[in-house]
Amino acid sequence: MKLIPNVIKISKLFMIILLFTLSYAGSANMIEKKDQFVKSCHLDENIFIRQIKLTDNNQHSKQEPLLLIHGARVAGIGSFDLPVKGGSLAEDLAEAGFDVYIIDLRGYGKSTRPKEMFNAPNESKPLVRTSMAIDDISCAVNQILKWTKSQKINLLGWATGGHWSAAYAEQHHDTVKKLIIYNSLYGAITEHKLLGRGSVFEDKQHPAEFNHAIGGYQFNTKESLFAAWDSSIPLDEKDLWRDPLVAKAYAEEAINSDPESFSHFPPQFRSPTGAMADSFELAIGKKQWQAKNLKMPILVIFSQNDFWSRKEAALAMVKEAKQARLVQIPNGTHFVHLDRDKYGRSLFISSVVDFLNSDK
């Protein structure tokens, strides 16, 4: 009889754990996440990949897996899987039935950083250029295809990630089912005041060349993430357009993605500058891939208030590619997938889902 109170205590503890588990699963709509590392294809370095899917989503679904590719500064989780409502594009796409994967390219997030990133920035040239990004995407795609027993994959790249995705697809078109290029540069224009000629990225002594004095990587504060975002929101009260919880989670994840962030005051995370060198070339009209060589169906998404991409470039991609269509987000910002639903996020997600589900 003396054992009964302990049994009751254990039973209550079990029920608490069970209720917590069920509550967590319900709040996440039965979302399952799995983090893995794969070896780089050429070096003994790690590439981080996160899988997000519905628990009951059969891996042999008719849908090909979907890989999300981040841009120049913030790594994959901060870009696509924030732990707040309206902050995880990956979860929204998983709930739509897709088997979603997120990559951190080398130099970002949980993936291996080039050894040069542990020296002073001015001791190296821009790190993680297009060729290296293609290698990392290729390595991730090959592994995901093995995991899922699929023949092809869908790609969604944001900003420089869209450029890298397209460059990969041009070289490995046999592995890509569909491609989504989101708020990206292309190289179809020669004037871009923010990124091109006359900008801080141009070498003043050698016009039309990237300013290598910028170094191999840069430091970024939380505040630096919001200047362009805020300026592109056409409201004085930014919280009406962008959920402050999403903004807070975005900044925190960016800082937390680098284990050395808190060795600085204020905290600052590192990001390779290869993306900026690539973007400078695109901004002065130097194409690094050709849309006419892309054979798969393509969705080009352009936000009307984007500070980064240009509509002329989006139109050029659609004109040159064989199977491309354009979706414009009215008044949308560069970060439209992190803005509120009524300010473009819903249109963005529905456009992506409809495109991936379509027969063309």
In the chain, the amino acid numbered 113 is R
Nearest to 40 by CA among 128, 163, 119: 128
Q: What is residue 42's predicted lDDT score, i.e. its pLDDT?
A: 75
pLDDT at 53 over 90: yes
Considering only 10-24, 84-98, 245-259, 319-333, which range has the smallest mean pLDDT?
10-24
Considering only 5-19, 149-163, 213-227, 229-243, which range has the smallest mean pLDDT?
5-19
Tokens of 285: 């009209």
Query: Distance between CA 274 and CA 4 in Å, rounded?
Result: 65
Q: What is residue 282's predicted lDDT score, i.e. its pLDDT?
A: 97
pLDDT at 238 over 80: yes
Considering only 10-24, 255-269, 334-348, which range has the smallest mean pLDDT?
10-24
Correct CATH for 32-357 of 3.30.160.270, 3.40.640.10, 3.30.1460.30, 3.40.50.1820: 3.40.50.1820
Give me the mean pLDDT over the 321-339 stretch.
Answer: 97
Percentage of the chain surpassing pLDDT 90?
A: 87
Strand partners, 178: 154
Tokens of 334: 């560069």
Q: Residue 323 class from Cβ within 10 Å (0-12 exposed, 13-18 middle, 19+ buried)? A: middle
* More confident site: 115 or 22: 115
Q: What is residue 275's predicted lDDT score, i.e. its pLDDT?
A: 98
Give me the mean pLDDT over the 64-71 stretch.
Answer: 98
Strand partners, 103: 49, 69
pLDDT at 317 over 90: yes
For residue range 245-295, list pLDDT tens digits in order.
Answer: 999 999 999 999 999 999 999 999 999 999 999 999 999 999 999 999 999
For residue 359, name the pLDDT band (cuts at 50, 70, 90): confident
Query: Distance between CA 310 and CA 320 in Å, rounded?
Result: 16
Q: The tokens 């790249």 sit on which residue? A: 157
Domain boundaries, the chain: 32-357
Give me the mean pLDDT over the 35-43 stretch.
Answer: 88
Query: Distance between CA 185 and CA 281 in Å, rounded?
Result: 10
Q: What is residue 272's predicted lDDT score, i.e. its pLDDT?
A: 98
For residue 1, name the pLDDT band (cuts at 50, 70, 90): very low
* More confident site: 30 or 279: 279
For residue range 127-153, list pLDDT tens digits in order.
Answer: 999 999 999 999 999 999 999 999 999
Q: What is residue 62's predicted lDDT score, i.e. its pLDDT?
A: 59
In the chain, the amino acid numbered 277 is A
Mean pLDDT over all residues of the chain? 91
